């Protein structure tokens, strides 16, 4: 017992130089601003002309007193679920093919295509969608050139446009995390299952899917959390339907300088997302 204890302490001492830069950075770049935001969220006012700014919980109460915010949060959560689900459906098969079927050069090339969107600025990606989706845009023109009958295809400034834009932005996360967990699965396991008489589908369901689940879950969390708070894509692609929880928070910061309310709304979002992750964790662990 005693020896393990010392060894552990030694280990910590040795690990310290390796850990310090990352944790110092996190403290500086995340913990401090976040603490400042907690403080702001409790203020009555940020206006420098009113010196009598005092502490209050009114900003948090505002969320509960007006059904507007709950409606918006619910809508944002639904959007997050939908986008995550589409990413799983689209991303998992792609990751499977990358990890288990393609080898060598082909894999590298396909991988590059998956990561490519990361190389461009996210704002540019969203704006390029506006050229594709609008009436008379690239998609509309292409469809009409191919199809024998006339269609007007105008998805721009609608809920589907927001979903398309967000899936495009976040799909690579799902492909990458699924790829990592799928690649770690020993091919021998799949061969064993097949040789013991399991069909392809049974192998996928009983062997591959459970082993790949951690990757899918990691990807889902990486996608769900930012999508719930997203504001840029809804604002640019969503048109008048693009009012979501994230855009309302943004308005508090940029349009009315009501930082306290904006900060309080952000922390409520954080709490709700954490609660969802906590509640779902045991269920998912059991499933895994």
Partner 1 sequence: MNKTTAILTGLGLLLSGTTAMAKDLHVLNWKGYGADEPFATKAFEEMTGDTVVNDFFNSEQEMLTKLRTNPGLYDVVMINAAFMQQALDEKLVQPIDTAKIANYGDLNEAQAQSKMLNVDGKTYGVPWTWGLTTVAINDKAFDTPPTSIKEMWKDDHKGRVTIRDDAVEAIQLGALATGQSINDVQDIEAVKQSLTELLPNIRTFWSSENDWNQMVASNQIDLGTYWSGSAGRAKTKFNLPVSLVVPEEGAVGWLDSFAIPQGSTNVEGAEKFINYMLSPEFYTEWDKSVGAPVSASQRAVAALPEDSFNRRVMGAPEVAERVQFQEPVTDAQREEYLKVWQGLKVGAN
Does position 239 interact with partner 1 (CB under 8 A)? The reply is: yes
Exactly one of 110, 243, 272, 280 binds partner 1 (CB under 8 A); that residue is: 243
Exactly one of 14, 103, 105, 240 binds partner 1 (CB under 8 A); that residue is: 240
Largest CA distance in the chain: 81
Does position 71 interact with partner 1 (CB under 8 A)? The reply is: yes
Nearest Cα to Cα of residue 37 among 265, 228, 212, 281: 265
Beta-bridge partner residues of 43: 55
Measured between alpha carbons, how far is 174 from 83 in angstroms, rounded to an integer? 11
Q: Residue 62 burial by CB count (10 A; 0-12/13-18/19+): exposed, middle or buried?
A: middle
Residues in 39-58 that interact with partner 1 by CB under 8 A: 45, 47-49
- Where residue 104 falls (left for φ over 0; alpha for ψ -120 to 50; beta otherwise) is left
Find the shortest distance in angstroms from Cβ 71 to partner 1.
6
Find the shortest distance in angstroms from Cβ 253 to partner 1.
12
Exactly one of 72, 139, 155, 217 binds partner 1 (CB under 8 A); that residue is: 72
Query: Binding segment for partner 1 among 10-18, 86-94, 98-106, 233-241 (CB under 8 A)?
Result: 233-241
Q: How far is CA 195 from CA 96, 154, 190, in A?
A: 20, 51, 9
Exactly one of 66, 101, 112, 141 binds partner 1 (CB under 8 A); that residue is: 66
- Rounded to 5°, the CA angle 116-117-118 comes to 90
Exactly one of 124, 255, 278, 283 binds partner 1 (CB under 8 A); that residue is: 255
Tell me if 69 sits within 8 A of 237, measured CB to CB: no
Find the shortest distance in angstroms from Cβ 256 to partner 1.
5
Find the shortest distance in angstroms from Cβ 159 to partner 1.
8
Find the shortest distance in angstroms from Cβ 61 to partner 1.
14
Length of the chain: 288
Find the shortest distance in angstroms from Cβ 63 to partner 1.
12
One DSSP character per residue, 251-274 reads HHHHTS--HHHHHHHHHHHHHHHH
Q: Which is nearer to partner 1, 154 or 226 (CB)?
A: 154
Q: What residues line the site for partner 1 (CB under 8 A)?
A: 45, 47-49, 66, 68, 71-72, 134-136, 156-157, 235, 239-243, 248, 251-252, 255-258, 261
């Amino acid at each position: 017992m005693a020896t393990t204890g010392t060894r552990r302490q030694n280990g910590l001492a040795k690990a310290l130089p390796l850990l310090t830069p990352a944790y110092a950075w996190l403290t500086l770049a995340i913990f401090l601003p976040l603490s400042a935001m907690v403080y702001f969220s409790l203020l009555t006012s940020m206006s420098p002309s009113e010196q009598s700014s005092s502490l209050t919980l009114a900003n948090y109460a505002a969320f509960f007193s007006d059904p507007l915010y709950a409606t918006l949060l619910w809508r944002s959560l639904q959007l997050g679920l939908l986008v995550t689900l589409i990413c799983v459906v689209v991303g998992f098969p792609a990751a499977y093919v990358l990890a288990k079927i393609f080898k060598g050069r082909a894999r590298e090339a396909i991988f590059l295509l998956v990561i490519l969107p990361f190389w461009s600025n996210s704002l540019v990606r969203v704006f390029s969608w506006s050229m594709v989706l609008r009436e008379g845009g690239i998609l509309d023109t292409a469809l009409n050139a191919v199809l024998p009958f006339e269609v007007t295809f105008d998805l721009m400034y609608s809920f589907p446009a927001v979903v398309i834009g967000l899936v495009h932005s976040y799909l690579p996360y799902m492909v990458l995390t699924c790829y990592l967990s799928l690649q770690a699965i020993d091919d021998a396991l799949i061969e064993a299952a097949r040789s013991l008489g399991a069909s392809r589908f049974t192998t996928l369901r009983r062997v591959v899917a459970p082993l790949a689940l951690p990757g899918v879950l990691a990807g889902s969390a990486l996608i769900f959390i930012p999508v719930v708070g997203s504001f840029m894509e809804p604002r640019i692609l969503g048109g008048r339907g693009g009012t979501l929880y994230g855009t309302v928070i943004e308005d508090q910061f940029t349009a009315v300088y009501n930082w306290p309310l904006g900060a309080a709304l952000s922390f409520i979002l954080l709490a709700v997302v954490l609660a969802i992750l906590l509640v779902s964790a045991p269920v998912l662990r059991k499933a895994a």
